[in-house]
Amino acid sequence: MRERVVLDVSHLPLHATGTASPTWWGTCAFMLIEGSGFGLAIAVYFYLMSLAPRWPVDAPPPDLWAGTVVTMLLIVSLVPNILVSRWAKQKDLRRVQIGLVIMSVMGAVPLVFRAYEFPALHVLWDDSVYGSITWTILGLHTTHILTDLVDTLVLTCLMFSRHGDNPRRYGDVQDNCLYWNFVVATWLPIYACLYWVPRL
């Protein structure tokens, strides 16, 4: 039995970026799921606040300094992140390598200050419902920073290896930059909830 070729796709590229890449769609779906998780956590926060006679429960409002420093660092990190994405689109290996090193540092530094945020809440996770939900939300976001940092470090190592100048790797870098934008964007409403809502 002879096989008939319906469509010759041999001229198509092996890899694509952006909306032509399944990885891009997977990253978007991942962000949608995680964004829904953050939305649910914030909804629980406001639900518990509506039931409490006083908010925060048995604790003063959190200190602002550590959370504000993290917020500023995350916002500033958007500049090199956007540049790295642009350089990956242009397939500029040297600039991507330098940019990924910078983004590795920009992903690690907020974690140093995040270590000060938990004590700044003035409550332990098992002290009250207020402590439980604030630690949960802060822990969730910390996990996202760690996740992207590990991904960035792996990509940095790959881009400095013999596999670096590969069209597929540039697409991975762009997807990683997209995810970091998500990490920063989700932090802004969380910051408002954790640090400013208790002061209203």
Q: Spell out the domain ranges in the chain.
A: 18-199
The pLDDT of residue 162: 85
pLDDT averaged over the chain? Answer: 91
pTM exceeding 0.85? yes
Instruction: Name the DSSP class of 71.
Output: H
Task: Report pLDDT for 176.
Answer: 95
**Which listed CATH number (2.30.30.110, 1.10.150.80, 3.40.50.2000, 1.20.120.80) goes with 18-199?**
1.20.120.80
Strands (E) in the chain, as ranges, are none
Q: What is the pLDDT of residue 143?
A: 96
CB 64 within 8 A of CB 45: no
Is residue 155 scored above 70 in pLDDT?
yes
Distance between CA 193 and CA 48 in Å, rounded? 12
Render pLDDT for 122-135 as a digit per residue (tens, 0 to 9).
999 988 999 999 99
Helix axis angle, 65-90 to 167-191, nearest 10°: 160
pLDDT digits (tens, 9 = 90+) for 160-171: 988 878 788 899
Q: What is the per-residue pLDDT across 30-81, written as a single tens digit (0 to 9) for each?
A: 899 999 999 999 999 999 999 998 899 888 999 999 999 999 999 999 999 9
Pick from 104, 70, 69: nearest CA to 176? 104
For residues 113, 47, 200, 36, the Cα torsion angle rounded to the nearest 10 degrees is: 50
